Each structure stands twice: as structure tokens, then as C-alpha cells.
Structure 1
Amino acid sequence: MNPRLSAFIKISMFVMVLSLTACSGTAEPPASPEISTPANEEATAPETDNEQAPEVTRPQSENFELMTGEGNQSLPATLHQGNGFSLYVFEKFAFDADKGRLFLSGNPEYEVTIEALPANYDLTQLKTEGNKELEERGEVSDFSGELVEHPLGSAELYLQASGSEGINDYMVWKSETGAAFLFRLHNPKGEEASDFAGPVLVSLSTVKSDS
């Protein structure tokens, strides 16, 4: 064999041995690059055989169509977290998470309280309690099942009392996921009445249970 060719083969084999030795070493592999999820991108966990994937995170802000004094407008609302639920809140409104209270920032008398109901709630008992509460505010009307185009048209119970001090509503409403909530709304007579009613009803229609 040609001496030069023999030397070349020996050198090549030596290099291959070094390469194999390096590959079989105990050095730790390089760390995988960390992948961050964009703020506006929704992420879900992989689904397993015995466990359903958790619900995707709600966007931090959404636009909703509202009828205003200037016509139909698309207005932004921000996601707020309550006690076991979340909802979207428009500008000029504030939300007290501890009390589940949504109100007009400039006049807190315009308010609604939100209460999550247990799965075994008694609708008949709630109706009795609602009538008793509202009787003190004025004549009580039952609009349950009649509010077809209303933001809360799917309400199981919709009682309303109208009196000299304004309008009071007592509503049992179910979200798309089947969770039930009790809304107590107070809309006094005044200049802010129309500014309160439209946005607050849309906000209530976005209430969603965390579980």
C-alpha cells in the first residue's frame, strides 16, 4: 500500500474514534430555548386520556357593539376577575372584586351585585325571595322568558320593580357553560340612567365561571 495512503487512512480512523468518544461522553445536552407565548395569543395545555384540556384564557380586552346616543358603536371593555368568575367592564365603570359589585365610577348608586349560585340552587325559592325584596321598591313585574333580544335574554328569572326611586332588577342568569348567577341591579332615576343600563347589561352577559 502506498505509504501516504496508509498514513491518511490511519489519521482518518483516529479522527473517527475521537468523534465517537466525544459523542458518548457525559456532557449535558444544551438547554432547549425557552419559548414565550405572545401576550395576545391564547394557549392550551395538551389533552390527556383522563383529563380534559383546561379552558383557554380569555383575552384581556374585547370590543362589544353597543347602542349609544350616537348610534351603534363598538366599544372596548377590559377583563376583570371576581370571586370565582370573570367579566368584561367598560370605561366609566368600576368593579369591586371582593363584593362582586359593578358600578358607575362617577355615581356609585348605579350598581349591580353579582353572586355565583350553587349547582343545586332552588329557582322557586329565589323567585319568592326576589319578589319579597322588590316589593319594597315598587310594583313587581315578571319578564322571565320574554326578553328575546335582550343581552340577558336567557335569564331563567327576570323580576323588575319600578318606582319613584328608579328601577330594580332581580335576575337569575345562566352563562354558556351552564353556571348560574344572581344579579341585583339598581338603576336610579337620573341623568346617568341611560349611560348605565346599556353597558352594564352587556357586561353582565359576559360573566363566566372560572371552573
Structure 2
Amino acid sequence: MTNMSLKKHKWKKTTGWMGMILLVIALTACSGNDSETGMNAGGEANANQTETGNNSEQTNPDNNAPDDTAGETKQGTGTFVGFIDNHSAEIEMDGAPAAFQMDETLSAAAQSLEQGTPVSFEYVERPVEGDATLKQLILTKLEAAPAKGMMSELPAEKSIEVELEGMKETRTTTLAKGEGYAFYMFDIFSFDAKTNKLMMNYDSDYHVVITKLPADYDIEELAKAAQSDMSKVGKVERRTGDQIYETMRDAELFLFAQGKGLTQQYIVKNIDGQGFAFLLNQPVGEASEGFGPLAFASINTVVATD
């Protein structure tokens, strides 16, 4: 064999070995890439990668929906106090405020609720990690409750016990309707819904002016305005405790003024979350003794209807 032929033969052998080495390297690289993407050489999913993926789908720290650690669904009613932040609100339940978590859907729905709105709701209790005595309250349902005293629920007549001249007796009253409220009145009264005035049939100077207050009323501002008006009658006293008639002692404000021939009383009450003001105008005369107890009894039947 010539020198030239020998050189060609050696080059072909070298080229063949080099090709085999490059092929092995290529296959090894492909196998490594498959492992990094979660696939093994046979095209099957990498077990470790699949497990990690499943765990990330199950974990959602912002999810307030009930889970396996939450207790049974409970129902409640109360008064909506307001938002604490975008995902929690305060509701007064059984006379005590409580903080409730909520998801975005409930939060959006609750935007229409005003402070002081009666609400009904459902919730679950989730234990707080690290302290078994603490519970996180999670709302699952929240809506405005039907107003207490809706007209469809109020009977046309009602029997009420009153005390007159030291003697207790039961009298029948009839339903009267004002703008956004209703109450029961005795047959000695008539009611003008346009002026919100409950008047004694015998003498209309004996009357009660009823005012339904806004949700954000300020008791001190009301007191200041009423004192200014009542000072025209006489010295105004702000009474509390035993100074107030027994049936009116739940009042937030009780002002009393007396002058020549006239007594006025200004009373503010919060009735089922709705504020009302009552101005009693009582001249000195024959009807004075019966007017007060019967007027107070009627005031105590007032309910909001919307």
C-alpha cells in the first residue's frame, strides 16, 4: 500500500471513532436536559418535580374559604359596625364586637352596608395555629337582615299596660304609621304623619313631635340644639338615673324645662339601632296627669320600618 493510501485509511478510522464519541456526548446531554425539565430518559415525569407542583397548587395563604380545620357552619345576627380592612369587618354580635374575615366576593357585597345596619350571616371558626384558645371567624354569608317591626308583621291593634293615678290598667291601642317608622297610640290621641305630631284629641297643645334621626347623629349636638330651643320655656335640666321616669330610663338623652304654664321634655332613644328624638309639649291643665304616662307608653312602642 502506498503512503498516500495508508494516510487515507488512518483518517477514516479516526473520523469513525470521533463520530461515535460525539454521539455519546450528545445522548448524555439530552438525558441531562430531560432530568432538569422533570422528565427522565423514558419520557416519564420526574417524581420530585410532580410532588412540588402539587404542593404549590394546594397552598394559598390568601384563601379565607373554610378548610378541613374549620368547624361547623354557624348562623348569627348582629349590627354591621364597619370595615377593618379590605378583607375583614367588625360586627356587633350579642352586644359585643367581633372581627370576621371574608373573601373578595363578600367584601364587595358588604360595600353597600352602612354602619348600624342589622345583618344576618353564616360563619365558621378556624383555630389559630399556636394558640388553641383563639379562633379565627370566617364569614361564608353576609346580608342585610329584614328591618325589625316591618309593617306586614305589626298587628292593627295591641294591648298595653299603663299606670294612671297609681293604678295599673290595660288599654287597647291602634297602629299609627309615620315616615319610616310606626307605633301604637291610645284612643285619646290622633296622629298627623305630615308633621310627625302625636296630639291629644282634647287639646292639641298637648303633643309629641317625633323625629327619626340619621344614622350618624351626634348626641351632644342634639342636646345643644334642644337646650337652645327649650331655654325659651325655662331653665333646662339634663336629667339622668332616678331623675327620669322609670319607663324612660333607657334614654340616651333626657332634657327637662319648665316655665309659666308649660313643661317640655326632650328625649332621645336608640331603638334597635335606630335613633329617635321626642319633644313632649305639656301645658299646665286638666289633661296633664294622663298625658305623660300615655305619651311615654306610645313612645316605647316606636319601631323603624325601613
Both structures adopt the same fold (TM-score exceeding 0.5): yes
Would the alpha carbon gap of residues 82 and 167 (structure 1) be closer, same or farther in structure 2, given more than 3 Å must change?
Answer: same
Higher Rg of the two aligned structures: 2
Counterpart in the other structure of 2:251: 155
Query: Structure 1 residue 51: deviation in Å?
Result: 4.8
Is 1:67 aligned to 2:163, yes or no?
Answer: yes
| Mean CA deviation greater in 124-133 or 56-65 | 56-65
2:173 is equivalent to residue 77 of structure 1:
yes
- How far 1:163 moved relative to its partner? 1.2
Paired residue for 1:192, among 283, 287, 291? 287
Question: Separation in 1 of the partners of 2:251 and 2:243?
Answer: 8
Call closer, same or farther: CA 1:71–1:145 in 2, change over 3 Å: closer
- Take 2:203 and 2:159, find their aligned partners in 1: how far apart are those partners? 24
1:98 corresponds to which of 165, 185, 194: 194
Distance in 2 between the 1:174 and 1:87 partners? Answer: 15
Give the Å deviation of 1:149. Answer: 5.9
Question: Is contact 2:244-2:254 (8 Å) kept?
Answer: no
C-alpha distance in structure 1 between counterparts of 2:212 and 2:298, whole Å: 15
Q: Residue 63 of structure 1 contacts residue 74 of structure 1 at CA under 8 Å; is this kept in 2?
A: yes
- State the shift of 1:128 in Å: 0.8
1:33-63 C-alpha deviation (Å, 9 max, x unpaired) = xxxxxxxxxxxxxx99665663461121111
1:122-167, CA deviations, whole angstroms, 9 ceiling, x for partnerless residues? 1111111111111110121111344676222211110000111221
Matched, 1:178 2:178: no
Q: Distance in 2 between matches of 1:53 and 1:157?
A: 28
Q: 1:146 to 1:125 in 2, by over 3 A?
A: farther
1:204 alignment partner AA: I
**Aligned with 2:212 (options 106, 109, 116):** 116
Aligned match for 2:300, one of 188, 205, 210 = 205
Residue 180 and residue 145 in structure 1: after superposition, are their counterparts in 2 closer, same or farther (change >3 A)?
Answer: farther
Q: Does 1:125 align with 2:228?
A: no
Residues matched between the structures, number: 164
CA distance in 2, matches of 1:178, 1:51: 16
Distance in 1 between residues matched to 2:242 and 2:270, nearest whole Å: 15
Q: TM-score, normalised by structure 2?
A: 0.50
Alpha carbons of 1:149 and 1:111: their partners in 2 closer, same or farther (altered >3 Å)?
Answer: closer
Residue 102 of structure 1 aligns with an amino acid whose one-letter code is: L
The aligned residue for residue 23 of structure 1 is none
Gaps in structure 2 of 5+ consecutive residues: 1-120, 123-140
Unaligned 5+ segments in structure 1 are 1-46
Matches within 5 A, 1:12-23: none
User: Equivalents in 1 of 2:282, 2:144: separation in Å?
Assistant: 41
TM-score under structure 1 length normalisation: 0.71
What is the alpha-carbon root mean square deviation over aligned residues?
Answer: 2.1
Shift of 1:181: 0.6
Q: Name the structure 1 match of 2:184.
A: 88
Q: Secondary structure at the match of 1:119?
A: coil
Change (3 A) 1:209 1:147: farther
- Equivalent residues of 1:144, 1:159 under 8 A apart: no
The code of the aligned residue for 1:184 comes to L
